[in-house]
Copies of this chain bind each other. A is one copy, B any other.
Amino acid sequence: VKVTPLSGFPEFLPAQRVVEREVIASLSDTFELHGFANIETRVVEQLDRLAKGGEVDKEIYVLRRLHATDDDATGDKQLGLHFDLTVPFARYVLEHAGHLEFPFRRYQIQPAWRGERPQEGRYRQFNQADVDIVGRDVLPFHHDVEVMRVMVDALDALPIPPVSFQFNNRKLIQGFYRGLGVPDVTAAIRTIDKLDKLPENLVADLLVSDAGATPEQAARCLELATIRVPDTSFVAQVQALGVTDDLLDEGLAELAAVVEGCAAGGHDSVTVEANLRIARGLDYYTGTVVEIFMAGYERLKSVGGGGRYDALASDGKTTYPGVGVSFGVSRALVPLVAEGVLNGSRSVPSAVLVSVADEQSRPEADAVARALRSRGIPCEVAPSAAKFGKQIRHADRRGIPYVWFATTDPDGATTHEVKDIRSGNQVPADPAAWEPPAEDLRPTIIGFEARP
């Protein structure tokens, strides 16, 4: 009978849920100010679309009906829960292409599922927020700058610790390695991506053994990976390494444009860097790549990431290039909430508890509540006509700031008063006119003040 939590499936208490809702509302606001349309995809995809032979395959949750005797009869294909929002988005674009306008700019905030071993920041069900722009056949580069700047604006508006956007560009790395003469460029990228897990000398050895580089080439690859600056000075630093290649030049120009575009605009809690060791292992990135880190929470690894992919989807005839970036809502928020860094200001939406003097007068209390609600003031009526002290404690335990009292004298005249239970201040009030201060109207996020 005892109910214990399910590891990897975190759940928020009502006040904690305020944090998640406000964060999602704020992200949505920013995305919409930039003209991104919201979509939701179904949570299941056909298994052959999810499982592509990669590392993530073994973490896919596959569905079957409990008594699946008629699966064959109804022609069901095997279904799995999506493990990110990119695979379902690519399928959505292909399925609905005839009804979409391109470039198609969408955001999507939904859970995804991975059956991995739970740890801090890694959950089996987690919410994620993705923004992407996808073109039909072509997608001009300026959309790379645009979509990254949208996420910079979005995270800058959140009441979370400062975040750092660390950008690189696959053309830059590929062109550099190619210009350097490294035999297996793809293997070299995959190897350099291990720099956050392995020491430099070991990565150098692997570049030689796995990518066919000479020790001298391996040293130059590592030199490139040490470049990390908050502006476009990386261009001169890379050029000083003396490698020439057309693709390298293109990558340098693109990365400079992204860094410049994202650094502009006076953000309070976002920093932007070119960090030339960011590679992102996934094969499908072809240009801009980014990883996002949260100050003080580097142990979570990145709280977001993304990049440019020249073939998000393809139906054989048409190819859909895309660029996008994802923010791990659960990955960032669950630890912040668990540590009490963030919490909701109260556990209920109510700004007012309308007290009940006795059960006979409940209709009058209901009428007060209706009057307040008609002017957009969330409120609730006390569940029982307990002593007023108990009703005030009822409000206090939920964080409701105001308690309303209506007292009727023997002549039938009713006096209305409202008490701010934080100050104890009680004043006459008219149900048809009284308003709480704007900051008390709705629950808000409390806790994180450390803006720079």
Residues of A within 8 A of B (CB): 1-6, 9-14, 17, 20-21, 32-44, 46-47, 51, 57-68, 74, 79-81, 91-92, 94-96, 99-101, 103, 105-106, 111, 115, 117, 125, 140, 142-143, 146, 265, 314-316, 347-350, 359, 362, 370, 373, 376-381, 383-384, 394, 397-398, 442
Contacts and interface: CB of A to CB of B under 8 A. Distances in A.
A94 B59 CA distance: 29
Contacts of A384: 140
A1 B95 CA distance: 10
B95 A66 contact: no
A378 B34 contact: yes
A41 B11 contact: yes
B397 A42 contact: no
Contact of A33 (B44, B100, B378): B378
B57 A1 contact: no
A397 B101 contact: yes
A57 B300 CA distance: 39
Given A67-B57, A125-B43, A3 B37 contact: no
A302 to B, nearest CB: 24
Q: Which 7 A-B pairs have the closest CB atoms?
A: A35-B380, A35-B350, A32-B349, A58-B67, A14-B37, A65-B115, A9-B42
Contacts of A17: 37-40
Given A34-B380, A57-B66, A61-B63, A370 B265 contact: yes
A110 B315 CA distance: 32
Among the interface residues A37, A47, A314, which one has the most CB atoms of the partner chain B within 10 A? Answer: A37
Nearest to A106: B14
17 contacts: A1-B315, A5-B95, A11-B41, A11-B42, A11-B95, A12-B39, A14-B37, A14-B39, A17-B37, A33-B373, A34-B380, A37-B349, A43-B43, A57-B66, A57-B67, A61-B63, A265-B370
A111 B101 CA distance: 28
Contacts of A377: 33
B125 A44 contact: yes
B316 A42 contact: no
Among the interface residues A10, A14, A106, A347, which one has the most CB atoms of the partner chain B within 10 A? Answer: A14
Contacts of A96: 11, 13
Contacts of A380: 34-35, 105
Given A67-B58, A91-B3, A380-B105, A347 B9 contact: no
A301 to B, nearest CB: 22
Given A6-B46, A80-B66, A143-B383, A100 B13 contact: yes
B64 A59 contact: no
B347 A101 contact: yes
A101 B14 CA distance: 10
Contact of A59 (B65, B146, B370, B397): B65
A103 B383 contact: yes
Nearest to A115: B65
Given A37-B17, A41-B11, A376-B33, A66 B74 contact: no
B62 A64 contact: yes
B61 A383 contact: no
B66 A62 contact: yes
A348 B35 contact: yes
A150 to B, nearest CB: 10
B51 A6 contact: no
